[in-house]
Amino acid sequence: MRADGFETLAIHAGQEPDPVTGAVVPPIYQVSTYKQDGVGGLRGAGLHGAGWNEGYEYSRSANPTRGALEDCLAALEGGARALAFASGMAAEDCLLRTVCRPGDHVLIPVDAYGGTYRLHDKVFANWGVSYLPVPMSEPEAVRNALAIKPARVVWVETPTNPLLSVADISALANIARESGALLVVDNTFASPYLQQPLALGADVVVHSTTKYIGGHSDVLGGALVVRDTGLGEHLSFTQNATGAAAGPFDAWLTLRGVKTLGVRMDRHCQNAVRIADMLAAHTRVAEVFYPGLGSHPGHEVAAKQMRGFGGMVSFRHREGEAEAVAFCGRTRLFTLGESLGGVESLVEHPAKMTHASAAGSALEVPADLVRLSVGIETCDDLLEDLRSALR
Ligand SMILES: Cc1ncc(COP(=O)(O)O)c(C=O)c1O
């Protein structure tokens, strides 16, 4: 039998009609604890995510709504198991605490989400886990860094936040495997619809589900998806021991969002391509960062490993920082705000906002950079908004 396609999995995986009532979407099980039939007699073994334990005991360990989301995300990324967290940062923290020990070393991208850099620089470094920023778009640089000092984890973002650089996942998977490192890919910008890192050889996928997966700017969340069930068990142990699991309502909102991920991503990509082309031809724009442009250094790798080029576009304002900042305040439809991946378009100034924590580091971003999260509004309206803010 043919395997189900992406959109079918997004709507059905982990979301069988409720076994008790037949409700066609998983109900919000807003509950902390579960009645036991005699001590240790847990109900619900094998239902929504409880397949991994012997039934429901306490919602920090397992909850049916969260389990439905986890099963769906595992199916969408082609993983053995997924775990859903209260935020993307909670997912990253759980992963690093599970796989790293004091004395371990991590390679991180020279261009990455500022919060990921902060977690390594301000939290894990204090616990004896060192890190080195490496240009992940250059596989040889990664190989050389591992030869000098082996790492427990090679942490990749592709495309990166906010400079949209692209790393070759399968090349890095080979390099990481040869040196015994885990390859972790933050797939937030692409979403599983556009890119599936596990199929390309990665060991772990990280998501801020706050972004494209949730898709409506109404919920925070994070996820880890793994190919290996043993690692999944270790992560689940840490998640339960430390407690940053997604709550049932948040899991339900995220699951509601993920059903339309495919159609939303198609429109995000279509709009972003037109916007990147317009900006590339604009006299007040010095440089556009979008992997869909033929001039982007990562274009060929992106075309090989992604189904589309995504909805994020960054550019440098030709007139410098002050004009870049002013531009962010002049748009009508692009709302000035942090975050990305929602149906509505957003604009921000990374150096002063999302990436302020990277100031003065190897991950510092240009002061004249503007980042756009291109939404799914009518594209002509978005183009007009940007043109008038650039005037
Ligand atoms: C690429 C990337 N990874 C991780 C995160 C952290 O996710 P959250 O904000 O859900 O904690 C973000 C947030 O912007 C992000 O852009």
Decide: helix, strand or coil at residue 6: helix
Contact 220, 250 (CB under 8 A): yes
Question: Which pLDDT belongs to residue 54?
Answer: 77
- Which residues in the chain show pLDDT less than 50? none
**Candidate of 210, 216, 340, 355 to mutate for ligand 1, largest count of ligand atoms within 8 Å of Cβ:** 210
DSSP string, 283-332: TTEEEEE-TTSTTSTTHHHHHHH-SS--SEEEEEETT-HHHHHHHHTT-S
Q: Are 296 and 302 in contact (CB under 8 A)?
A: yes
The dihedral formed by the CA atoms of 111, 282, 217 and 236, expressed in degrees to the nearest 10: -20
CA of 137 to the centre of ligand 1 (A): 20
Per-residue pLDDT tens digits for 235-287? 999 999 999 999 999 999 999 999 999 999 999 999 999 999 999 999 999 99
pLDDT value at position 384?
98
Q: Which residue has the tokens 């391509």?
A: 273
Separation of alpha carbons 63 and 270, rounded Å = 37
Q: How much is the pLDDT for 53? A: 65
Could you give the CA distance from residue 98 to residue 169 in angstroms, rounded to a whole number?
Answer: 23
Distance 380 CA to ligand 1 centre (A): 29
Q: Which atom of ligand 1 is nearest to the CA of 161?
A: 1
